[in-house]
Copies of this chain bind each other. A is one copy, B any other.
Amino acid sequence: METSKHHIEPAAGRLGVLTVGLGAVASTVIAGVELIRRGLAEPVGSLAQMGTIRLGKRTEGRVPLIRDFVPLAGIDQLVFGAWDPISDTAYEAALKCGVLDRYSHIEPVAAELKEIEPMPAVFDQNYVRRLDGNNVKSKANKLELAEAVRKDIRDFKAANSCDRLVVIWCASTEIFIEPGPAHESLAALEAAMEANDESVPPSMIYAYAALKEGVPFINGAPNLTTDVPAMIELANETGVPVCGKDFKSGQTLLKTVLAPMLKARMLGLEGWYSTNILGNRDGEVLEDPDSFRSKEVTKLGVLEHVLQPDLYPELYGNFHHKVRINYYPPRGDNKEGWDNIDIFGWLGYPMQIKVNFLCRDSILAAPLALDLVLFTDLAARAGLKGVQEWLSFYFKSPQHAPSLYPEHDLFIQQTKLKNTLRWLMGEEQITHLGHEYYED
């Protein structure tokens, strides 16, 4: 059993959180954190805030809160900033996106939200076609844009007396980009940025800037961003953690729970049809086939990896998987998924599981963003650099070491996360073996 206690720097001082994008997700996180600070709401959905962790044997009864077990930054230590091409404050953004109830959840923290004005964004409509904005940086090339972002980061840190920072992507899905030569090494990337190469989207400019400043970067969208050798090289060089891609919030969350159930029970899969309706800005952006392509790739990959068709050709060698997203304004931010799962059991008899998930996009994403900020900051203080595979739990398409396959099964991801916390703190790994309870 692995039990070596790690050295972890204490979570002292203020932790700056810079969100790329100040829309539905970011404003929901920020308003929520302010409400929680005042005791006006619970951080429901946050494992870091509400979760516990079992230590030792079942009969020991040691089940502390995670935030009492590992040295996380506290809610009160967070300071927020943002970039956005639209110049609405967090207050205006929260009102417009229609996620939170105005009287219960926006007005009580209006003063704090109004103070958050977005810095000019690195934005280019070629990468997100359905959006527009005029709060935008203008520079000669992408390297200079990155320098401007680095300056924003340093300025924010100084102005807010932060001890540490985290940058998190909470903005729209960019168009699909294949990894190419420009992404192979840090040198190639920098050259491409200087040359204004189209293979470098805005998200890479932010990530590059953050990593250069020694600030961890979290990727909440399916964009390629840090999932290329050049960025890993940079993260390892500057010694900072990165993680991504794409918050696993709704339909894919369910998929990574139901597919493992099928595999656990060796039930075959003939087809899985997933459709989504949503009416928010994200839905509008995803009407662009190129943005949808990015999303589709992360959504489709999940089943392949969980079900291992190569190991189980009779069960999973030949299933049909369709994912559709439809922009449907009546839903607003209240995303709705409908999954139709065609399975087969003993002797091949067909059965169906149909799941209708009436969820809320930003409500599901907000606590993931908070947890990732806190855990990535922990990782940084514990000296964990580069890809944080143990945070796969939060992502649709988890980054991982090149020699490995991604882990999509939510419960393996959870075990990995919790056993990593135990390992960091020098506690025994939990294996659920438990034969000792039955021995004389």
Binding site for B on A (CB under 8 A): 1-2, 28, 32, 35, 41-47, 49-52, 58-59, 63, 100, 103, 105, 253-254, 257-258, 260-261, 264-268, 270-271, 273, 275, 277, 311-312, 314-315, 320, 322, 324, 326, 328-331, 336, 338, 340, 342, 344-349, 351-360, 363-364, 366-367, 384, 386-387, 389-390, 393, 401, 403-405, 407, 409-412, 414-416, 419-420, 423, 429-435, 437-438
21 A-B pairs (CB sep. < 8 Å): A32-B346, A44-B268, A44-B315, A50-B314, A52-B311, A52-B312, A59-B403, A63-B311, A103-B103, A254-B261, A275-B275, A275-B326, A336-B340, A347-B363, A349-B360, A351-B357, A351-B363, A353-B359, A354-B356, A354-B357, A415-B415
- Which residues of the other chain, B, contact A277 by a CB distance below 8 angstroms? 273, 322, 340
The 3 closest A-B pairs by CB, nearest first: A271-B330, A411-B411, A429-B431
Interface centre among A260, A349, A356 (most CB of B within 10 A): A349
Q: Kindly identify which residue among B258, B420, B431 contacts A415, using a CB–CB cutoff of 8 Å.
A: B431
A256 → chain B, closest Cβ, in Å?
Answer: 9
Asked if B266 and A47 make an inter-chain contact with CB atoms under 8 angstroms apart, the answer reads yes
- Give bound CA distance, A271 to B277, whole Å: 11
Asked if B100 and A271 make an inter-chain contact with CB atoms under 8 angstroms apart, the answer reads no
- Give bound CA distance, A250 to B390, whole Å: 32
Interface centre among A260, A261, A312, A346 (most CB of B within 10 A): A346
- Which residues of the other chain, B, contact A311 by a CB distance below 8 angstroms? 52, 63
A361 → chain B, closest Cβ, in Å?
Answer: 10
When C-beta atoms are compared, the residue in chain B nearest to A260 turns out to be: B411
Q: Kindly identify which residue among B44, B390, B410, B419 contacts A267, using a CB–CB cutoff of 8 Å.
A: B44
Asked if B266 and A389 make an inter-chain contact with CB atoms under 8 angstroms apart, the answer reads no
- Give bound CA distance, A367 to B331, whole Å: 25
A339 → chain B, closest Cβ, in Å?
Answer: 9
A262 → chain B, closest Cβ, in Å?
Answer: 10
Q: A42-B347, A103-B103, A345-B363 are in contact. List 9 more A-B contacts (CB 8 A).
A: A44-B267, A324-B326, A347-B363, A353-B357, A353-B358, A403-B437, A411-B411, A411-B412, A429-B433
Asked if A47 and B265 make an inter-chain contact with CB atoms under 8 angstroms apart, the answer reads yes
- Give bound CA distance, A42 to B314, whole Å: 8
A206 → chain B, closest Cβ, in Å?
Answer: 24
Known: A50-B315, A431-B415. Is A389-B437 also a contact (CB below 8 A)? yes
A130 → chain B, closest Cβ, in Å?
Answer: 17
Asked if A347 and B50 make an inter-chain contact with CB atoms under 8 angstroms apart, the answer reads no
When C-beta atoms are compared, the residue in chain B nearest to A347 turns out to be: B41
- Give bound CA distance, A310 to B7, whole Å: 33
Asked if B357 and A387 make an inter-chain contact with CB atoms under 8 angstroms apart, the answer reads no
- Which residues of the other chain, B, contact A52 by a CB distance below 8 angstroms? 311-312
- Which residues of the other chain, B, contact A265 by a CB distance below 8 angstroms? 45, 47, 253, 367
A251 → chain B, closest Cβ, in Å?
Answer: 11
A226 → chain B, closest Cβ, in Å?
Answer: 15
Q: Kindly identify which residue among B2, B355, B359 contacts A355, using a CB–CB cutoff of 8 Å.
A: B355
A349 → chain B, closest Cβ, in Å?
Answer: 5
- Which residues of the other chain, B, contact A326 by a CB distance below 8 angstroms? 273, 275, 322, 324
Known: A58-B404, A423-B435. Is A270-B345 also a contact (CB below 8 A)? no
- Give bound CA distance, A51 to B258, whole Å: 17
A54 → chain B, closest Cβ, in Å?
Answer: 10
Asked if A320 and B324 make an inter-chain contact with CB atoms under 8 angstroms apart, the answer reads no
A70 → chain B, closest Cβ, in Å?
Answer: 15
When C-beta atoms are compared, the residue in chain B nearest to A358 turns out to be: B352
A330 → chain B, closest Cβ, in Å?
Answer: 3
- Which residues of the other chain, B, contact A404 by a CB distance below 8 angstroms? 58-59, 437
Known: A42-B314, A366-B346. Is A416-B437 also a contact (CB below 8 A)? no
